[in-house]
Chains A and B, each alone.
Chain A
Amino acid sequence: MELICPAGTPAALRTAVDAGADAVYCGFADATNARNFPGLNFSRRELGEGIAYAHQRGAKVLVAINTFPTAGEQALWHRAVDDAASAGADALIVADVGLIDYAARTHPGQRLHLSVQAAASNPAAIGFYVRQFGVRRVVLPRVLTVSEIAAITGAVDCETEVFVFGGLCVMAEGRCSLSSHVTGQSPNMNGVCSPASHVVYREEGGTLVSRLGDFTINRFAKGEPAAYPTLCKGRFKTSLGSGYLFEDPVSLDAAAILPGLRAAGVTALKIEGRQRSRAYIESVVRGFREQLDALAAGEKPPADRLAALTEGQSSTLGAYRKTWR
Chain B
Amino acid sequence: MKLTLGPVLFNWEADVWRDFYFRIADEAAVDAVAVGEVVCSKRMPFFDSHFPAVIERLTRAGKQVLVSSLALVTLERERKHTEALAQAGEWLVEANDVSCIAHLVGRPHVVGPFVNVYNEGTAQWFAAQGARRICLPPELPLKSIAAIAAATSQAEIEVFAFGRAPLAISARCYHARLHKLAKDNCRFVCAADPDGLPVDTLDDERFLVVNGVQTLAHACTNLIRDLDDLAQANVASLRLSPQHCDMVAVISTFRDVLDGRKPPEQGFQELSAIYPNAPATNDFLKARPTTARSLHGGPAA
Interface residues of B in 51-84 (CB under 8 A from A): 71-74, 78-79, 82-83
Which B residues are in CB contact (< 8 Å) with A180? Answer: 139, 167, 284
A178 to B215, CA, bound (A): 8
Contacts of A132 in B (CB 8 A): 105
Q: Interface range on chain A: under 10, 10 to 19, 20 to 34, or 35 or more?
A: 35 or more
Alpha-carbon gap, A242 to B143, bound state (A): 38
Q: Among the interface residues A95, A101, A241, which one has the most CB atoms of the partner chain B within 10 A?
A: A101
A98 & B201 in contact (Cβ 8 Å cutoff):
no
Candidates A98, A122, A241; contact of B178 at CB < 8 Å: A241
Please choose the segment from B17-25, B113-121, B241-249 that sits at the chain A interface, where 4 or more of its residues have CB less than 8 A away: B113-121
A122 with B183: CB separation less than 8 A = no
A34 within 8 A of B: no
- Bits for A286-325, please: 1 = Cβ < 8 Å to B, else 0: 0000000000000000000000000000000001000111
CB of A189 within 8 Å of the partner chain: yes
CA–CA, A234 to B202, complex, Å? Answer: 10
Judged by DSSP, the binding face of A is mixed
Q: Which of A10-18, A54-62, A66-74, A262-270 contacts B (4 or more CB under 8 A)?
A: A66-74
Residue pair A74, B120 in contact (C-beta under 8 Å) = yes
Interface residues of A (CB under 8 A from B): 68-72, 74, 95-99, 101-102, 118-125, 127-129, 131-132, 143-144, 148, 170-172, 174-178, 180-184, 186, 188-189, 198, 209, 213-219, 232, 234-242, 245-247, 319, 323-325
- Knowing A144-B74, A175-B168, the reply to whether A128 touches B118 (Cβ < 8 A) is no
B130 beta carbon closer than 8 Å to chain A: no
Does B147 sit at the interface, judged by CB under 8 A? Answer: yes
| C-alpha spacing A144/B76, complex, angstroms | 12
In the assembled complex, 13 residue pairs joining A and B whose CB atoms fall closer than 8 Å, in A order, are A71-B145, A119-B116, A125-B73, A125-B99, A144-B171, A177-B168, A178-B208, A216-B203, A236-B201, A236-B207, A238-B210, A319-B172, A324-B171
User: A-B pairs with CB below 8 Å: how many?
Assistant: 225
Contacts A70-B118, A97-B121, A319-B172 known; list 18 others, CB within 8 Å. Answer: A68-B116, A69-B119, A97-B126, A98-B122, A118-B98, A119-B98, A121-B97, A122-B79, A124-B99, A128-B102, A170-B170, A170-B172, A172-B168, A176-B167, A177-B137, A215-B201, A240-B178, A246-B174
Residues of B that sit less than 8 Å from A by CB: 71-74, 78-79, 82-83, 97-103, 105, 114, 116-126, 137-140, 143-145, 147-148, 165, 167-174, 177-179, 182-184, 197-205, 207-208, 210, 215, 217, 283-284, 287-293
B202 close to A242 (CB less than 8 A): yes
Q: How far is the CA of A182 from the CA of B292 in the complex (A)?
A: 10
